[in-house]
Amino acid sequence: MNEKKLGKTSLIGLVIGSMIGGGAFNIISDMGGQAGGLAIIIGWIITAIGMISLAFVFQNLTNERPDLDGGIYSYAQTGFGDFVGFSSAWGYWFAAFLGNVAYATLLMSAVGNFFPIFKGGNTLPSIIVASFLLWGVHFLILRGVETAAFINSIVTVAKLIPIFLVIICMIVVFNFDTFKSGFYGMASGSVGVFSWGDTMSQVKSTMLVTVWVFTGIEGAVVFSGRAKSKKDVGTATVIGLVSVLIIYFLMTVLAQGVIQQSEISKLASPSMAQILEHIVGHWGSILVNIGLIISVLGAWLGWTLLAGELPFIVAKDGLFPKWFAKENKNKAPINALIITNILVQIFLISMLFTDSAYQFAFSLASSAILIPYTLSAFYQVKYTAQHKHKASLKQWVIGIVASIYTIWLVYAAGLDYLLLTMLLYIPGLFVYSYVQRDNKKRLTKLDYTLFIVIIVLAIIGTIRLLTGNISVF
């Protein structure tokens, strides 16, 4: 029986679907609440340069190394050794399944706009319904990754409809005088007066938002082993990123000409619903909230695909326990999905009593997901240096720019969080040791050195947490 493969459309859908989640519906106030039009434009230019470089890194590496089916994880392993590759996959997996907990609660909170019994997202009815949906998505994927990816593409189109409607409405009512009055920002009270220091402060506030809105750019890369063509993976990554960049740019900049910049921070969540209600009336808010529900469902499906696929690939490569590598008759990663969704279920249930454990873990995982991006950029530089006799200027430029940008992302996310992220890797040390022993491999001196570094950094982070220097709640 011929195995179905993912085409370019499905891969583009995975990239866009993974990046456009619930955050897209609140990005107008997240960025515009503290920054004027000028700062937002500068912020997007910097983000575009950095993220497009990273997208080209993924495109180039999938073309140059089509044998690396694990993509974002396998670049770290090939470039810097088994333990670095394992750690990259471990942190990414944690971030992926904890992100699904966030999607579950965000979805029920959005439904709460129509049915108050679900208000807040962590009530008993919310957790019960979210659990049913969790296992519904689970069994959908078990029918085949390709089937789930096709449905994800349909959902991606559906959730883009209200977004495009909002953009079109903002273009129609855009007022240049409103845009101009808040162009330099209004936070300082000196409306219409340019201040370089104030503008740069605003740019930094926008950049902290863009740190997270593009997680999911690697959606197609993770599924490179299931793609009809490896070239489609890189193309889908670039097309998906540029599409989302244009959407986010238009949403955040146009909003500055629809409502006064000083009023944007006062918009209720989701701010996109408030903008459309401001333009067309209450039905606009209802439409956007429905779009938010569809969007979160789509992102949840996309990230469940990612969270199940990665440990499956890593297990096939011998760096996760072999149990994770089992497929069902539909070629779905059944065991990887089971353990992933059991962990999501545990965190969902824990939120009935306290969301502290989840908030703590998610704060760490959010920083952890940036590390594989950084290692991928580093590997691009290393690979280019190793093949400098045939390397192009473009390969050098995208590697260096993406490396600088991803290092900045890790710094912007907070070095204290990076210290605490090492706590996620402590259980990973035991898993890695078990896997290497099972593969009849001995731990290297470098492995032991990295073990010690992780433990020391985790201890420092814990001390700073206990002494009140770090707050994650």
- Least trusted range by pLDDT, from 176-185, 208-217, 307-316: 208-217
**Max mean pLDDT range (18-22, 81-85, 142-146):** 81-85
**Average pLDDT of span 64-73:** 76
pLDDT at 119 over 80: no
pLDDT at position 1 is 38
- Where residue 186 falls among pLDDT bands split at 50, 70, 90? low
pLDDT at position 123 is 82
pLDDT at position 3 is 52
pLDDT at position 339 is 93
pLDDT at 149 over 50: yes
* Percent of the chain at pLDDT exceeding 70: 92
pLDDT at position 472 is 62
Mean pLDDT across the chain = 84
Instruction: Write out pLDDT tens, residues 324-383.
Output: 989 888 888 899 999 999 999 998 888 787 766 666 666 676 777 888 889 999 999 999
pLDDT at position 128 is 92
pTM: 0.82
Instruction: Write out pLDDT tens, residues 429-448.
Output: 999 999 999 988 888 999 99
pLDDT at position 169 is 93
> 426, 431, 472: which is closest to 452 by C-alpha?
426
The superfamily CATH assigns to domain 8-467 is Amino acid/polyamine transporter I (1.20.1740.10)
pLDDT at position 194 is 65
pLDDT at 414 over 80: no
pLDDT at position 201 is 80
pLDDT at 260 over 50: yes
pLDDT at position 452 is 95
pLDDT at 189 over 50: no
**Domain boundary assignment for the chain:** 8-467
- Phi-psi domain of 144 (left: phi exceeds 0; alpha: psi -120 through 50; beta: other): left
pLDDT at position 143 is 82
Instruction: Write out pLDDT tens, residues 240-255.
Output: 888 989 999 999 999 9
**Average pLDDT of span 198-226:** 74
